[in-house]
Structure 1
Amino acid sequence: MFKLAHNGNVLLDVHENSPPSAAFIIEALEKSPFCECRVDHDAINNFFKSDSNERMLVVASKHDASLVVTLSDDKMLATGELTVAEGGKVMTLDEAKKELIKAGVARGYKQAFLEQLLQQQFELPAGEIAKGVLAKGRLPIDGQPSKFVPQVETLKDRLKKPKLREDGTADMRDFGKLASVEPGVLLIKQIPATPGKEGFTVTGDVLPAKPGENSTLVAGEGTEISKNNPLELISVIAGVPVDIANGMRVDDIFTIADVNVKSGHVDFEGSVIVTHNVEPGMRIHAKGDITVMGTVESGYLSAVGDITIKQGVIGHQQEDKKLSCNIISQGDIHLSHGQYCYLEANNILIERQASHCVMKATKLLQVGQEDNPQGKLFGGEVLDAQMLIAGEIGNESGAKMVINLAASGADVTAQTDQCLKELAQTDSQLDTLQEAIEKADQVKDAEKKKLLLAKIGATQMHYCEQAEMLEKKLSSLEHHLHDLLEDAQLVVNKKLHSGVEIHIFEKVLLTNRQYPPCKVKLEENKVEVEFKTT
């Protein structure tokens, strides 16, 4: 009844067979060997609607399976749309691979993907479309920065592990034997930075990876880089290892029970450990760290390293409004609680509470435990900090308290103004020298002219270098101020009371009510309060 033409069309001799209806032809096709071919419904319906004299009617057509490969806009994914054959040939694996190559796929191809898609030719009805991933690109993996792995326990590590009593409670004054080393002990091993792993698109373009930052191992006092291995730091003296940025130092340790009138003031080149208390009026100065297991009352402590006070810091306000207790560190300050004391450090970390203290932190001022600061801060003044985090700030009475964030921005602005002034003076000098060059060009004596131009040229070079240096400094100052203001924020985890005057650089916000958990930042040159969502 049906015949297959060379071009793949299925023909019906309508004069010979005289089909009564379109439904009859379609039913006959379904029972014929051409049942999977694509039925031409339009041609069949038109035959019965019009008076056609053609003998042969195209009722269906044979179609081979086809594959269309599409690449994503970022060339990280190649997907395929496979149209199942309609009476024609199924697509072979080799034919499908050629379509991938034609589409530009060069990397990230997996044969299993393609085989899985082609398998659906035998599971789906004729003419159905199957879709699947054929190739995947790979994003670059950035390299890891170099790591410094301590091989010994430092003083700070030891202070985190108080000795347990027989009843299981912790003795906060007894931390056992100090961590100490002898000369020649391995302190740190450095793991070099990794280069990262490059990525690629499915078309074969390479996506370079960012190599990890390779920091230099730093040998502090009492240590040296191993002569046998530049990635190892060893001790050269006996003492206590102390962490520094990208390295360690080894300090001599001076240990004393109490600092009082009997002991006298302490001034030591290394680190100082006070196993009990620092009594009123006493001073400690150390080139290393200072650690006090007990309390400091109306004392003066200054250290090049960190200052850790396991208990409280207590002072009082003197007649001249100055505070009787001063703790100043070029590193960090760690303490349990403080009242009526002056604290100054890079980072100030207070475990429980700070009341009526004057504090100045270069970076972070935190009141509360590290993982979830819930401590109280009230009274006194924060002279400077880049970030302040506490549970509660101010008190119910609404007593005034002043907090200054990014106060160091004023110094940066002053330096910027001075830099601009110097740059204007330098530009003025260069203008004057240019005029001098033009006048020198008019000198008729060749030798005199040469000497004059050489002298002016040397001076001009000096001012050009000075101008370049000032422009670099100006750019650095502008970036520093931007980062300072961008990062400046106050974070309150419980309550921010009324009466708190918050300064961020040159802008001020005075709280006139109680706020729930919130963040205070500088947004569009205005101090804004952003409430935390739970």
Structure 2
Amino acid sequence: MFKLAHNGNILLNVAELNPPSAAFIVEALERSPYADCAVDHESIKAHFTNEYPEQQLVVAKQHDACFSVQVSDDQMQAIGNLTIAQGGKSVTIEDAKKEIVKAGVSRGYKQAYLEQILTKQLELEPGVEVSGIVAQGRPSVDGQPAKIIQHVQTVKERLKQPKLREDGTVDMRDFGALSSVAPGTVLITQRPATPGKEGFNVVGDSIIPLPGESFQLMAGEGTQISPANPLELVATIAGCPSSIQNGMRVDDVFTIGEVNVRSGHVDFNGSVIVTQGVAPGMKVTAKGDITVMGSVESGELKSGGSIEVKQAVIGHLDHKNNDEGLTCRLIAEGDIHLSHGQYTYIEADNVFIDRQSNHCDIKANKLIQVGIDEHPKGKLLGGEILDAKMVIAGEIGSESGAKMSIYLARSGMKITKESDDCLKALSQTDDQLSTLQQAIEKADMLKDVEKKKQLMAKIGATQQHYCHQAEELEQQLSQLELNLHDLLEQTKLTANQALNPGVEIHIFDRVYKTNRSYPPCTASLQDGKIEIDFKTS
């Protein structure tokens, strides 16, 4: 009934068969050896509508399977696209491999991937299209940063572990014996950064990983880099270890019950632990950390490390100085951590206040946080934020609308001034270079060859000096611009519960005044002005 033409068409001699309908032809095809071929419904339909039908009717078309390979835009995958044969030849593994090579794939190929796709020729209906991965690149794995592995307990960590009484209660004033190390004790070990693992894409290109960030192990006072192992830091004296950036120091520790009139002021070259409190008018000065287990009332703490006050820090307006200034002051080169602050001047790298800050003047290099946990909900009321990069609290300002000023990114003013000075110096250097160029042109006109040679050498040396100076100034200017950009990018004020009216927000040289209560929000500098973005739950 049907026969296969050389061009792949399936023909029916309608003159011999005289089929009664299109459905008859289709059903006959389905029972024939050409059942998998693509039925030409348009040709069959036309036979029954044409006034002069053809004697040989094309009823179907035989199609070989088709396989192509497409490389993804990022060149990390090669995708094989297969169209199942319709009465024609299937795609062999050898044919498919040729297409893979033709597409430029040279790495990441696995025959199991290809076999998984080609097996579909035995499972799916003719003409169905299917695709799958035939080659997979391997992303690079960035190196791990260098890490400090600590082998001893620091004073700060010890003070987080109060002693347990026999009845199960905790004695918040007794922390047991001080952690101490002997000379030669290994304090920390540096695990070196790793280079990472190279990757590749399917077209054969290598993907170079970013090596892990490294740092220099820092030996603070009382420590040294081990002569036997440059990745170890060891103690050189007996004392208590304290963490510093990328290292440790070992301090002698002075412990005192209460700092009062009887004890006198404390000025110590190491760390100080006050197991009770600091009385009004008393001062504690330490080169290391200061820890106060009780409260500080109108006292002054100055630390070359960090300060931690377990209870409240309370001062008042300085009545002896016409209410100018505050009677309680905490200043640290490291961090300051306290439970509650009132009428206190606080200055540190980072400032953490667990519950509330009332009328405190605070200055931080980086962060001021009022409240604990991941979403602090403490209250920042009154006073003045003198400088910081980030301020995070639950509630900022008072509902009454009392004025409160918050200054952020003030160091940007210093960067701007340094940039202006740099530009001025660069302009002066350019003027010098122009003058030297004129001098070269005049010297070139001299007839005395020896004198000309000497003058040219002298001018050339001076010119080289100013060229080097100009290059340094340009690099300095570029770095200052980058520093300012990074500073403003990181600067932000966050109120996790409410930002009240009367708060004057200064970010760099821009000002925003709140005249109503805002729900949870953040304030940051965007496109040259302070924008308030409201948080979505």
- Same-fold status (TM-score > 0.5): yes
Q: What SS does structure 1 have at the residue aligned with 2:88? A: coil
Structural mapping, 1:102-181, within 5 Å: 102-181=102-181
Partner residue of 1:32?
A: 32
- Residues 456-480 of structure 1: CA distance to partner in whole angstroms, max 9, x if unpaired? 2222222222222222221111111
CA offset at residue 58 of structure 1? 3.7
CA offset at residue 235 of structure 1? 1.6
Contact 1:172 1:310 in 2 (8 A): no
Gapped runs of 5+ residues in structure 2? none
Taking the aligned partners of 1:162 and 1:227, their CA distance within structure 2 comes to 37
CA offset at residue 21 of structure 1? 4.1
Partner residue of 2:338?
A: 335
CA offset at residue 293 of structure 1? 1.4
* Distance of aligned partners of 1:220 and 1:126 in 2 relative to their CA distance in 1, 3 Å threshold: same
CA offset at residue 57 of structure 1? 4.0
Partner residue of 2:510?
A: 507
Gapped runs of 5+ residues in structure 1? none
Partner residue of 1:353?
A: 356
Q: What SS does structure 2 have at the residue aligned with 1:221? A: coil
- Residues 300-334 of structure 1: CA distance to partner in whole angstroms, max 9, x if unpaired? 22121111111121222113212122211111111
* Distance of aligned partners of 1:390 and 1:443 in 2 relative to their CA distance in 1, 3 Å threshold: same
Taking the aligned partners of 1:412 and 1:170, their CA distance within structure 2 comes to 49
Contact 1:285 1:302 in 2 (8 A): yes
**TM-score (normalizing by structure 2):** 0.93
Partner residue of 1:298?
A: 298
* Distance of aligned partners of 1:472 and 1:373 in 2 relative to their CA distance in 1, 3 Å threshold: same
Q: What SS does structure 2 have at the residue aligned with 1:100? A: helix
Partner residue of 2:71?
A: 71
Query: Equivalent pairs: percent with the same residue?
Result: 62
Q: What SS does structure 1 have at the residue aligned with 2:140? A: coil
CA offset at residue 383 of structure 1? 0.7
Taking the aligned partners of 2:121 and 2:102, their CA distance within structure 1 comes to 21
Structural mapping, 1:428-467, within 5 Å: 428-467=431-470
Contact 2:47 2:54 in 1 (8 A): no
Once the two structures are overlaid, the 10-residue window that deviates more, 281-290 or 75-84, is 75-84
Partner residue of 1:493?
A: 496
Taking the aligned partners of 2:417 and 2:298, their CA distance within structure 1 comes to 35
Whichever residue aligns with residue 161 of structure 1, its letter is Q
Partner residue of 2:396?
A: 393
Whichever residue aligns with residue 405 of structure 1, its letter is L
Contact 1:181 1:239 in 2 (8 A): yes
Partner residue of 1:362?
A: 365
Alignment of 1:521 with 2:498, yes or no, is no
Taking the aligned partners of 1:27 and 1:515, their CA distance within structure 2 comes to 75
Partner residue of 1:99?
A: 99
Alignment of 1:226 with 2:218, yes or no, is no
Contact 1:333 1:347 in 2 (8 A): yes
Contact 1:80 1:132 in 2 (8 A): yes
- Residues 204-233 of structure 1: CA distance to partner in whole angstroms, max 9, x if unpaired? 222221111122222222222222322222
Alignment of 1:252 with 2:246, yes or no, is no
CA offset at residue 368 of structure 1? 0.9
* Distance of aligned partners of 1:36 and 1:290 in 2 relative to their CA distance in 1, 3 Å threshold: same
Taking the aligned partners of 1:98 and 1:166, their CA distance within structure 2 comes to 79
Partner residue of 2:89?
A: 89
Taking the aligned partners of 2:11 and 2:516, their CA distance within structure 1 comes to 88
Contact 1:143 1:196 in 2 (8 A): yes
Once the two structures are overlaid, the 10-residue window that deviates more, 192-201 or 181-190, is 192-201
Whichever residue aligns with residue 146 of structure 1, its letter is A
* Distance of aligned partners of 1:221 and 1:134 in 2 relative to their CA distance in 1, 3 Å threshold: same
Taking the aligned partners of 1:385 and 1:334, their CA distance within structure 2 comes to 16
Partner residue of 2:309?
A: 309
Partner residue of 1:383?
A: 386
Taking the aligned partners of 1:51 and 1:510, their CA distance within structure 2 comes to 87
- Residues 228-250 of structure 1: CA distance to partner in whole angstroms, max 9, x if unpaired? 32222222211111111111111
Whichever residue aligns with residue 486 of structure 1, its letter is E
Whichever residue aligns with residue 105 of structure 2, its letter is V
Taking the aligned partners of 2:402 and 2:57, their CA distance within structure 1 comes to 98
Whichever residue aligns with residue 91 of structure 1, its letter is V
Partner residue of 1:407?
A: 410
* Distance of aligned partners of 1:102 and 1:452 in 2 relative to their CA distance in 1, 3 Å threshold: closer
Taking the aligned partners of 2:164 and 2:394, their CA distance within structure 1 comes to 30
* Distance of aligned partners of 1:411 and 1:65 in 2 relative to their CA distance in 1, 3 Å threshold: same
Whichever residue aligns with residue 136 of structure 2, its letter is K
CA offset at residue 166 of structure 1? 4.3
CA offset at residue 22 of structure 1? 3.6
Taking the aligned partners of 1:427 and 1:99, their CA distance within structure 2 comes to 61
- Residues 159-215 of structure 1: CA distance to partner in whole angstroms, max 9, x if unpaired? 222223445443332222222211222211222112222332222222221111122
Whichever residue aligns with residue 472 of structure 2, its letter is M
Taking the aligned partners of 1:22 and 1:394, their CA distance within structure 2 comes to 84
* Distance of aligned partners of 1:245 and 1:57 in 2 relative to their CA distance in 1, 3 Å threshold: same
Taking the aligned partners of 2:44 and 2:531, their CA distance within structure 1 comes to 74
Taking the aligned partners of 1:333 and 1:350, their CA distance within structure 2 comes to 8
* Distance of aligned partners of 1:460 and 1:99 in 2 relative to their CA distance in 1, 3 Å threshold: closer
**TM-score (normalizing by structure 1):** 0.94
Number of residue pairs matched by the alignment:
534
Which ranges of 4 or more aligned residues in structure 1 deviate by more than 6 Å?
A: 51-54
- Residues 429-449 of structure 1: CA distance to partner in whole angstroms, max 9, x if unpaired? 222222222222233322222
Taking the aligned partners of 2:51 and 2:536, their CA distance within structure 1 comes to 75
